[in-house]
Chains A and B, each alone.
Chain A
Amino acid sequence: MLHYAPVDEDWMYPNVGEDDCAGGVAGGSHIPTTPHEQAWMFYLPRTCAHCTYPACLAACPRKAIYKREEDGIVLIDQSRCKGYGECVRACPYKKSMYNTYTRTSEKCIGCYPAVEQGIQPQCVVNCIGKIRVMGFINPPAKARADNPIDFLVHKKQIALPYYPQLGLEPNIYYIPPIHADREYLHQMFGPQVDGAIERYRDLERDPVAAGLLCLMGSTDRIMHRFKVERGKAIGYDDKGAELVQVPVTEPVIERAAFDAKLGAIRNNTP
C-alpha cells in the first residue's frame, strides 16, 4: 500500500465480500477454542487515523494539508488542494481519496466542527455497539489514569494502533479481536497484541475498566476525565463538569415474558 496509487477498481465495491466466508466449514464441526484457527472474522472501522506523523501531509507538494495544533485533526485545505493525488498515493491506510467531481482530494475531517464544540465525532456517537470513544491522548510520560484514552492505551495497554510498523503513529487505537488468527493480529497490531488480549480477558476483574467501557457510548460529549466509585462511572468535560453517570453493573430486573398491559412479548434487548 506504500505509495500505491489506487485505481477505480480498488474503490468500486468497497464492501463486496466483507461478510463472505473465505473457506468451508465441515458440517457438524464446532469451534472449541480461541483463537479460532478454522474460522474467524472481524469488522474494523477504518477511518483516517489523524496520524501524529501524517504521510499525506508530508507528501503534498502544495502544503495543502495541515495538522491542527489544538486537536491534532489532519485536514486537506479544500481551497488550496489541486488534486495532485500525492496524499492518496502516500497514505498507507488509503484514507485520502480523490474526488473526480470536485477534483480535489478529500478525507475524514475528524468531525472538527463537532469536536470544536466538545462533541465526539459522528462515527463515534452513532456506533450502535457503543464500543467507540474519542478523546485526547497524552504522551506516555504524561499519561493520566483518569483520562479515558490514556487509561485504555497507556495504563491498561489493551488498545493498540493498527499497522504501527508504518511509522505514522496513527491515532486510532483498537482493542484487538480475541478470536481471530494470532499471526494475522501480530501483523496488524504488532507484538503487543498477545498481552493486550490477555489483559482484555482479565478486564472483568477491574471495576474501573468495566466502568469506563460502560461510559463509552453513553454521552455524545468528549470526556476528558472519568471516575468510578460506589458502582457508578462518571464522565467529566474539560472544565470538570459532570457529563454523564452510569451504573457499572446494570440492575437485573426479572419480568414475565409477556407484558399483559401492552399485550406484547418482551424482548431482552440491552
Chain B
Amino acid sequence: MIRPLFIPPGARRAAAARALPVLALCSLAALGCSGKKRKAAPPAEPPPTAIDTLVVHKVAADVSKPDPAAAYWQGLAEGEIVMTAQPMVAPRPDVATTEKVFVKAVTDGKLAAFRIRWRDPERSMAGRLGEFSDALALEFPVKTDPLPPVMMGAAGAPVHIFHWRAQYQRDHEEGKPTIATLYPNASIDMYPMEFKDQPGAHEAGREQFSPGAAVGNPQSYAKGGVDEIIAEGYSTSSVQAGSEGHAAHGDWANGEWTLVIVRPLATEGGSNLAPGQRAFIAFAAWQGGKLEVGSRKCVTMAWLPVSVQ
C-alpha cells in the first residue's frame, strides 16, 4: 500500500498565505518598470500546492546542467512538501528549522532534474571550527516492493541518496580551502605545513598528517556538488566511489536556497526512475547556520510517490 503524504490542513493555509508576498513583489516590479519601455512580463508562477505525487515533467531540453533559472522550470507546478525535525535518532534537532521544501522535477528522457527551494536565513558553507554547511538530500528506494523504511532504509532494504552540501559546491567551484585561507594568521613552530611563517612549507606537508585522506575517507577530499550515498539503516550511509553521473548547483538569495540536483533516470545497483514505473522520493534538509549536521536535520516522514512522464 502506498500511503499518500499527509499534509496537515494548517500547511495548506500557510501555502495560501505565502502567495501574498509574491504578489506584492510583482506589483513592485511593475512600478519599477513604469516610465521605461515595457518588457513582456514573465508568466506568473503558479503558487506551490500540496501534492500527493511528484510529477517529473518531460521537457524538450537538455537538463544535464543544473540550472535553477533554466527556462524549462517556468510555469511548472511546484509541489509543497512538509518537513519535520528528525524524530528517530539522537541527537535530534529541537525544532523544525526547515518546515517545508518546494519542488519541481523535469526529465529529458535520460536524466531527471529536481529543483528544490527552501527558506534558510543565512548561507552557511562550513570551513572553520564550529561552522556547518547548509545541505539537502534526495532519497530514493532501491527497490519499491516492499518499500524500505523511509528513514535511511534497513538491512537488505537499501536507499539511494543524493546529498548536496553548500560546502561541496564551494569546493567544486572555488577549490577546497586550505588552512592558510581558513586561518590566515595561524602559525606553528615545527610542522612542515603551509602556515604563513613557514617558508618552503606547502600543503603536501599537511597531507601526511591527514589520516582521513590516507584511508580514503571521501570527507577528506574536495567534492563535486553532491555525494551519492547508499544506506541500509541508521548509521550505515556510505558514499559511493566514482559515481559521476550526477551534478548539483544551488543559488542562495534573500534567505532562500534554490537548488537543482540532476541524477540519471537509470543507475546500476541504485534507484531507478522510468515512465510508468513505481517510484518514490523523500527529502532532508540541514541549516548549517543553526548548527545542523548529521542526524540534526529536518526530514519528510513518508515516501512521496513519483510519476515520471
Binding site for B on A (CB under 8 A): 5-8, 11, 59, 61-63, 78-86, 98-104, 106
Query: Complex Cα distance A84/B127, Å?
Result: 13
Q: Are B90 and A6 in contact (CB under 8 A)?
A: no
Can you spell out 12 A-B residue pairs with CB atoms less than 8 angstroms apart?
A5-B291, A6-B130, A7-B129, A79-B215, A81-B212, A82-B294, A85-B293, A100-B179, A101-B178, A102-B210, A102-B213, A102-B217
Please determine whether B294 and A98 come into contact, CB atoms closer than 8 angstroms.
no
A102: B residues at CB distance < 8 A: 210-213, 217, 219-220
B219 touches A81 (CB 8 A): yes
Task: Indicate whether B235 reaches chain A with its CB closer than 8 angstroms.
Answer: yes
Q: How far is the CB of B192 from chain A (nearest CB, A)?
A: 14
Cβ of A78 and Cβ of B211 under 8 Å apart?
yes
Report chain A residues within 8 Å CB of B237: 62
Known: A61-B295, A104-B211, A104-B212. 16 other contacts (CB 8 A): A5-B291, A11-B129, A61-B91, A61-B294, A62-B235, A79-B212, A79-B216, A80-B217, A82-B219, A86-B294, A98-B130, A101-B178, A101-B179, A102-B217, A103-B220, A106-B211
What separation, in Å, do the CA atoms of A6 and B129 have in the docked complex?
8
Beta-carbon nearest neighbor of B215 in chain A: A79
Chain B residues within 8 Å of A, Cβ to Cβ: 89-91, 127-130, 132, 178-179, 182-183, 206, 210-217, 219-220, 234-235, 237, 291, 293-295
Q: Give Cα distance in the complex from A83 to B217, angstroms.
A: 11
Shortest Cβ gap from B269 to chain A (Å): 20
Complexed CA–CA distance, A106 and B206 (Å): 15
Q: How far is the CB of A196 from chain B (nearest CB, A)?
A: 37
Residues on B with beta carbons closer than 8 Å to the beta carbon of A6: 129-130
Determine the distance from Cα of A100 to Cα of B183 in the docked complex, in whole angstroms: 10
Q: Return chain A residues, CB-CB under 8 Å to B295.
A: 61, 84
Smallest CB-CB A-B distances: 3 pairs: A84-B294, A102-B212, A61-B295
> In the complex, what residues of B have CB within 8 A of residue A81's CB?
212, 217, 219
A11 CA / B183 CA spacing, docked (Å): 13
Which residues of chain A have C-beta atoms less than 8 A from B214's C-beta? Answer: 78
The reply to whether A61 and B217 form a contact with Cβ atoms under 8 Å apart is no
Chain A nearest Cβ from B15, distance in angstroms: 32
Contact B294 A78 (CB under 8 A): no
